[in-house]
C-alpha cells in the first residue's frame, strides 16, 4: 500500500497510485467539509494529506494530475443556495510547518523579487481563524451580496444569512464604490457550548467543533435559524475594489477597521522572519485563552505593490503563507508489525499499535516505511532515531504531521522488553509465498509473484476502478475486494462480463449483502458506460509501474488511438529500433518508464490480460491540446540578458502561467527569445537560427502586461 510509504521512498508508479488515492480522498474530504458540513477527517489529517500530495508532486512533477488537489480550493457548492461567481477568485493558502519553512519563505520571496538579504521586506502576522471564509460585496456602501467560498470560483449566495451577523455592517460610510470584503465567519467557544446544549435539549444534532457549528449555521436555508445562532466575523482580506484601500496590508486592515469591520487584534506588522516567529510564539501562547479556534498564523507581505508583483500560483498567493501549529505526539506500545503487499508488489511494513489518542483522533496503525527505516537507517544509510531500531513490544512515540498516516518518531529503549529481538523483514511474500527481492538502489522489497500474487491482483483491480482510471460508480475498492474474494473477478476484463455471468434477473447480485435491485441495475449500467473510455485513462488504468496519470495522458496525446499505441508497444519489444526511439523521444518519457511499458506489453500473460480487456472497450481517441487561449500557449521561449522589470523567476512563472514552455537554451525548437541588455551568445544563436527576438518591453506588450 503506497499510503504507508514516505514520499521520498515512492517509486514513480507508486507515486502515481498514491496521487490518485490522495485526489480521491481529498475530493471526498472536501465534499464532506464544504458541501455537507460534516467533516469525515480532522483538519490536521486534511492538511497532512495535502502536504503529502504536494511533496509527491514536487518530487514527480510530471505525475501531477489534471484533477490535482493542489489546484483546488474547497468543494463545489451544495445544491439549495443560488450560485455566485466570484469576480475575483477566493484563494487558499500554502502551509508551513516549522521555522525553517518561514525563513525559506522569506528567502524565496527575496529571490523572486530580486531583493538583497539586507533590504527590508515587511510582513503582517495574524491568527489563522478556524472558521469558514465569506466574501461580502458592497456597492455604494450598501451590502448587496454575501457568498461562501465554494470551490473558489463559484460560491453560495448566503446574503440573507450574513445580514443576521452583528459584525457585518449593512451600510458603510466613505467606502469605495465597489468593495468586496473577505474574512472568516466563526463561532466563539462560549456560543458553541451554548448552542450544543440547546441542540441536545431539543434532541437535535450537536456539532463536533465550533467550525462545523459556524458552517452549519451560516448555510441554513432558513435565515431565521442563522439568526438564532451567534456568529461572528473577522475581516482580513478583500476581492474586487473600485479603488485601493491602502498601499499596505496593515494599512488596508486599518481602513477596514475604520469602515466598521472587526479585524483581529493580534495582527502585527513584522520586519522579517525573526519578528514573525516571535509573533507566532506570542499568538501560540495566547491560543489557549482565546475564545475562538485558531489553527496557525498567517503571514502576508505588507507592501501591496510587492504582493501584486508576486501574484498567485494556481490556488494560492505567493505573498502569503499559513504557519500551522504543530501536530501532537503520543507514546504507545507497538503490538505487531504487519506486511502489506501493493499493486506493484511492494512489501510495506505497518505498525499495529495499542490504540492511543493523538490530536483528538484514535490511532492504531502507523507506517514503518521499509526495512531500513525499521532498522534505524534512512535511504542513504544514515542513522535515524540515533540509529535505534524498532521492535515488536517497543514503547514508541507516534505523531501526525505533514502526513496523514501516523509515523513513529522515537523509541524509548528504557522500556524495551527484555529478550526482544530485532525485527526480521520477510524475504518471501506473505500473500503468495513468492520470493520478495530488493533491487540495488531500491528501498522497497517486492514480491516477484506478479499476476499469481492475490494481493497484487486485488490492488491492480482497485487501481483499475480508481477515480483517475475507470471510476465506475458503485464499484469502489470495497466492492472490488468483495468480488475478488468471492471469485467473481480476477482481472479487469472480468468486470465487463459480470452482467453476463451474474446479472441474469439480477438475482445473484441482488441476493448479496449490500446490493438491491436498484444498485445492481445501476452498477451494470455504470460498467457499460465505463466501457467507453478515453485512451489516457485506459493507459493509466493498466497499472503499469512508473506510468502515472500524467504520463498516460502524454502517451495518449502522442499516439492518439489504442491501435496505434498497442502496436507501437509491440514494435518496441527489442528495446531498440524506430518504435523504441519514438517512445523515448516523447518529452516526459524516460528509459525507466519506457522499459516498464514495453515489458508489460510483451510479457505473454500480461499482454493476454490487456487484450482480453481491450476486447470489451471502445477507446476514445485522444484530443490534441488546445493552444488557442493565450498568445504564447504551447510556445517555447527563452529569456536571456538582464531583465529590468522582473526577476528571472518572476518572468518564468508568468510565461508558464500563460502556457509557454520556458527553456534554458536556444535551439531550432525555440519560438521566441526575450533578450535584455547584455544578451550574448543566445541572441547570436537565435539570430543564426532565425528565431524571433523581442526585448523585455516587447514581451510585456505581447502578453498584455505592458
Nearer to ligand IVH, 165 or 366 (CB): 165
Nearer to ligand IVH, 23 or 297 (CB): 297
Nearer to ligand IVH, 263 or 466 (CB): 263
Nearer to ligand IVH, 324 or 377 (CB): 324
Q: How far apart are CA 211 and CA 213, in angstroms?
A: 5
Q: Is 126 among the residues that bind ligand IVH (CB under 6 A)?
A: yes
| Stretch in the footprint of ligand IVH (CB under 6 A) among 87-95, 209-217, 401-409, 642-650 | 87-95
CA atoms within 13 A on the CB side of 704: 4
Q: Is 164 among the residues that bind ligand IVH (CB under 6 A)?
A: no
Q: Is 584 exposed, middle or buried (0-12, 13-18, 19+ CB in 10 A)?
A: middle
**In the complex, minimum distance from the CB of residue 133 to ligand IVH, in angstroms, rounded to a whole number:** 3
**In the complex, minimum distance from the CB of residue 152 to ligand IVH, in angstroms, rounded to a whole number:** 9
Residue nearest to ligand IVH (CB): 133
Assigned C-alpha cell, 504: 441474469
Nearer to ligand IVH, 182 or 463 (CB): 182
| Stretch in the footprint of ligand IVH (CB under 6 A) among 34-42, 121-129, 163-171, 570-578 | 121-129
Q: How far apart are CA 578 and CA 473, in angstroms?
A: 41
Q: Is 185 among the residues that bind ligand IVH (CB under 6 A)?
A: no
Assigned C-alpha cell, 366: 502507523
Nearer to ligand IVH, 211 or 407 (CB): 211
| Stretch in the footprint of ligand IVH (CB under 6 A) among 86-94, 160-168, 459-467, 595-603 | 86-94
Q: Is 69 among the residues that bind ligand IVH (CB under 6 A)?
A: no
What does the chain come to in residues?
Answer: 706
Q: How far is CA 390 from CA 5, 379, 430, 618, 695, in A?
A: 16, 16, 20, 51, 60
Q: Is 166 exposed, middle or buried (0-12, 13-18, 19+ CB in 10 A)?
A: exposed
**In the complex, minimum distance from the CB of residue 312 to ligand IVH, in angstroms, rounded to a whole number:** 8
Long-range contacts of 508-517 (CB under 8 A, 24+ apart): 512/482
661 annotated active-site: no
Contacts of 597 (CB under 8 A, 6+ apart): 544, 546, 547, 555, 569, 572, 583
Q: Is 605 exposed, middle or buried (0-12, 13-18, 19+ CB in 10 A)?
A: exposed
**In the complex, minimum distance from the CB of residue 382 to ligand IVH, in angstroms, rounded to a whole number:** 34
**In the complex, minimum distance from the CB of residue 286 to ligand IVH, in angstroms, rounded to a whole number:** 15
- CB count in 10 Å sphere of residue 667: 12
CA atoms within 13 A on the CB side of 198: 11
# residues contacting ligand IVH (CB under 6 A)? 14
Q: Site mask, ligand IVH, residues 228-267, x = CB under 6 A?
A: --------xx------------------------------
Q: Is 170 exposed, middle or buried (0-12, 13-18, 19+ CB in 10 A)?
A: exposed
Q: Residue 59: left if φ>0, alpha if ψ -120 to 50, beta else—which one?
A: alpha
Q: Site mask, ligand IVH, residues 550-589, x = CB under 6 A?
A: ----------------------------------------
Q: How far apart are CA 360 and CA 380, in angstroms?
A: 35
**In the complex, minimum distance from the CB of residue 130 to ligand IVH, in angstroms, rounded to a whole number:** 7
Taking CB under 6 A as the criterion, which residues in 3-42 touch ligand IVH? Answer: none
Of 64, 128, 300, 324, which one is the catalytic site residue? Answer: 128
Q: Is 128 among the residues that bind ligand IVH (CB under 6 A)?
A: yes
Q: How far is CA 384 from CA 135, 365, 379, 408, 625, in A?
A: 47, 20, 10, 11, 46
Taking CB under 6 A as the criterion, which residues in 417-446 touch ligand IVH? Answer: none
| Stretch in the footprint of ligand IVH (CB under 6 A) among 90-98, 138-146, 219-227, 381-389 | 90-98
Nearer to ligand IVH, 300 or 445 (CB): 300
**In the complex, minimum distance from the CB of residue 187 to ligand IVH, in angstroms, rounded to a whole number:** 14
Q: Is 596 among the residues that bind ligand IVH (CB under 6 A)?
A: no
Which residue among 184, 302, 459, 471 contacts ligand IVH (CB under 6 A)?
184
| Stretch in the footprint of ligand IVH (CB under 6 A) among 128-136, 391-399, 479-487, 636-644 | 128-136
Please say whether the beta carbons of 312 and 319 come within 8 A: no
What b/e readout covers 299-337, taking b as 16+ CB neighbours within 10 angstroms?
bbbbbbebbebbeeeebbbbbbbbbbbebeebebbbeeb
Taking CB under 6 A as the criterion, which residues in 277-336 touch ligand IVH? Answer: 298, 317, 320, 322
| Stretch in the footprint of ligand IVH (CB under 6 A) among 125-133, 244-252, 343-351, 518-526 | 125-133
Q: How far apart are CA 533 and CA 619, in angstroms?
A: 5
**In the complex, minimum distance from the CB of residue 173 to ligand IVH, in angstroms, rounded to a whole number:** 25
**In the complex, minimum distance from the CB of residue 128 to ligand IVH, in angstroms, rounded to a whole number:** 4
**In the complex, minimum distance from the CB of residue 33 to ligand IVH, in angstroms, rounded to a whole number:** 12
Q: Is 72 among the residues that bind ligand IVH (CB under 6 A)?
A: no
Q: How far apart are CA 282 and CA 280, in angstroms?
A: 5
**In the complex, minimum distance from the CB of residue 321 to ligand IVH, in angstroms, rounded to a whole number:** 10
Which residue among 62, 92, 370, 693 contacts ligand IVH (CB under 6 A)?
92
Q: How far apart are CA 525 and CA 515, in angstroms?
A: 14
Nearer to ligand IVH, 48 or 593 (CB): 48
Please state the φ and ψ torsions of residue 159, each to the nearest 5 degrees.
-55, -45
Q: Is 479 among the residues that bind ligand IVH (CB under 6 A)?
A: no
- CB count in 10 Å sphere of residue 378: 16
Q: How far apart are CA 121 and CA 110, in angstroms?
A: 8
Strand, helix or coil at 371?
helix
Nearer to ligand IVH, 175 or 320 (CB): 320
Nearer to ligand IVH, 26 or 554 (CB): 26
**In the complex, minimum distance from the CB of residue 126 to ligand IVH, in angstroms, rounded to a whole number:** 5
Q: Residue 203: left if φ>0, alpha if ψ -120 to 50, beta else—which one?
A: left
Angle between helix axes 43-59 and 12-30 (nearest 10 degrees) is 150
What b/e readout covers 556-583, taking b as 16+ CB neighbours within 10 angstroms?
bebbeebeebbebbebbeeeeeebbeeb
The neighbouring-strand residues paired with 184 are 133, 234
**Where on the chain is the footprint of ligand IVH (CB under 6 A)?**
91-93, 126, 128-129, 133, 184, 236-237, 298, 317, 320, 322
- List, by residue number, the catalytic residues: 128
Amino acid at each position: 500500500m503506497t499510503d504507508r510509504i514516505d514520499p521520498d521512498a515512492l517509486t514513480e508508479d507508486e507515486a502515481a497510485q498514491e496521487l490518485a488515492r490522495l485526489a480521491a480522498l481529498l475530493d471526498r474530504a472536501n465534499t464532506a467539509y464544504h458541501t455537507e458540513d460534516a467533516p469525515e477527517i480532522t483538519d490536521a489529517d486534511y492538511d497532512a494529506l495535502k502536504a503529502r500530495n504536494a511533496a509527491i508532486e514536487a518530487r514527480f512533477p510530471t505525475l501531477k494530475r489534471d484533477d490535482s488537489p493542489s489546484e483546488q480550493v474547497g468543494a463545489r457548492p451544495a445544491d439549495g443556495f443560488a450560485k455566485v461567481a466570484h469576480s475575483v477568485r477566493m484563494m487558499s493558502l500554502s502551509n508551513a510547518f516549522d521555522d525553517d519553512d518561514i525563513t525559506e519563505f522569506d528567502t524565496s520571496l527575496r529571490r523572486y523579487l530580486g531583493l538583497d538579504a539586507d533590504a527590508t521586506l515587511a510582513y503582517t502576522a495574524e491568527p489563522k481563524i478556524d472558521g469558514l471564509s465569506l466574501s461580502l460585496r458592497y456597492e455604494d456602501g450598501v451590502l448587496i451580496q454575501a457568498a461562501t467560498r465554494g470551490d473558489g470560483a463559484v460560491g453560495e449566495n448566503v446574503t440573507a444569512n450574513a445580514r443576521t451577523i452583528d459584525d457585518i455592517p449593512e451600510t458603510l460610510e466613505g467606502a469605495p464604490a465597489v468593495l468586496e470584503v473577505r474574512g472568516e465567519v466563526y463561532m466563539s467557544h462560549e456560543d458553541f457550548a451554548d448552542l450544543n446544549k440547546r441542540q441536545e435539549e431539543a434532541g437535535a444534532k450537536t456539532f463536533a467543533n465550533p467550525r462545523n457549528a459556524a458552517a452549519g449555521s451560516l448555510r441554513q436555508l432558513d435565515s431565521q435559524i442563522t439568526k438564532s445562532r451567534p456568529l461572528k466575523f473577522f475581516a482580513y482580506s478583500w476581492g474586487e475594489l473600485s479603488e485601493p484601500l491602502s498601499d499596505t496590508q496593515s494599512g488596508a486592515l486599518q481602513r477596514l477597521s475604520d469602515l466598521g469591520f472587526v479585524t483581529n487584534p493580534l495582527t502585527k506588522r513584522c520586519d522579517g522572519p525573526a519578528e514573525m516567529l516571535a509573533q507566532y510564539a506570542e499568538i501560540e501562547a495566547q491560543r489557549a485563552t482565546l475564545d475562538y479556534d485558531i489553527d496557525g498564523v498567517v503571514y502576508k507581505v505588507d507592501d501591496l505593490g510587492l504582493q501584486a508583483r508576486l501574484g498567485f500560483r494556481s490556488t494560492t498567493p505567493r505573498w502569503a503563507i499559513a504557519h500551522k501549529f504543530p501536530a501532537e505526539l503520543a507514546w504507545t506500545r507497538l503490538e505487531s508489525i504487519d506486511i502489506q503487499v501493493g499493486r506493484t508488489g511492494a512489501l510495506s511494513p505497518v505498525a499495529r499499535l495499542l490504540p492511543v489518542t493523538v490530536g483528538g483522533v484514535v490511532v492504531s496503525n502507523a507506517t514503518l516505511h521499509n526495512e531500513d527505516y525499521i532498522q534505524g537507517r534512512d535511504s542513504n544509510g544514515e542513522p535515524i532515531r540515533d540509529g535505534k531500531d524498532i521492535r515488536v513490544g517497543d514503547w514508541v512515540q507516534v505523531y501526525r504531521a505533514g502526513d496523514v498516516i501516523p509515523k513513529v518518531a522515537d523509541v524509548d529503549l528504557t522500556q524495551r522488553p527484555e529478550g526482544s529481538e530485532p525485527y526480521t523483514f520477510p524475504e518471501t511474500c506473505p500473500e503468495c509465498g513468492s520470493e520478495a527481492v530488493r533491487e540495488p538502489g531500491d528501498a522497497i522489497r517486492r514480491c516477484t509473484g506478479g499476476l499469481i500474487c492475490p494481493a497484487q491482483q486485488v490492488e491492480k483491480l482497485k487501481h483499475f476502478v480508481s477515480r483517475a482510471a475507470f471510476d465506475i460508480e458503485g464499484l469502489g475498492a470495497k466492492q472490488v475486494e468483495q468480488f475478488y474474494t468471492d471469485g467473481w473477478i480476477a482481472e479487469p476484463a472480468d468486470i465487463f462480463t459480470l452482467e453476463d455471468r451474474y446479472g441474469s434477473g439480477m438475482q445473484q447480485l441482488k441476493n448479496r449483502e449490500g446490493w438491491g435491485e436498484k444498485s445492481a441495475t445501476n452498477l451494470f449500467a455504470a460498467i457499460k458506460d465505463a466501457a467507453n473510455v478515453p485512451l489516457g485513462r485506459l493507459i493509466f488504468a493498466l497499472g503499469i509501474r512508473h506510468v502515472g496519470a500524467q504520463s498516460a495522458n502524454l502517451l495518449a496525446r502522442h499516439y492518439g488511438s489504442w491501435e496505434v499505441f498497442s502496436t507501437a508497444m509491440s514494435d518496441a519489444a527489442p528495446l531498440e529500433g524506430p518504435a523504441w526511439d519514438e517512445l523515448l523521444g516523447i518529452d516526459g518519457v524516460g528509459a525507466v518508464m519506457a522499459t516498464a511499458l514495453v515489458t508489460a506489453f510483451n510479457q505473454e500473460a500480461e499482454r493476454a490480460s490487456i487484450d482480453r480487456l481491450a476486447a470489451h472497450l471502445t477507446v476514445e481517441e485522444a484530443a490534441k491540446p488546445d493552444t488557442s487561449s493565450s498568445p504564447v500557449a504551447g510556445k517555447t521561449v527563452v529569456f536571456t540578458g538582464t531583465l529590468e522589470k522582473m526577476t528571472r523567476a518572476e518572468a518564468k512563472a508568468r510565461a508558464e502561467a500563460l502556457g509557454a514552455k520556458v527553456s534554458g537554451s536556444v535551439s531550432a525548437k525555440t519560438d521566441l527569445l526575450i533578450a535584455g541588455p547584455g544578451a550574448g551568445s543566445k541572441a547570436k544563436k537565435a539570430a543564426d537560427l532565425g528565431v524571433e527576438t523581442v526585448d523585455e518591453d516587447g514581451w510585456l506588450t505581447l502578453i498584455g502586461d505592458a
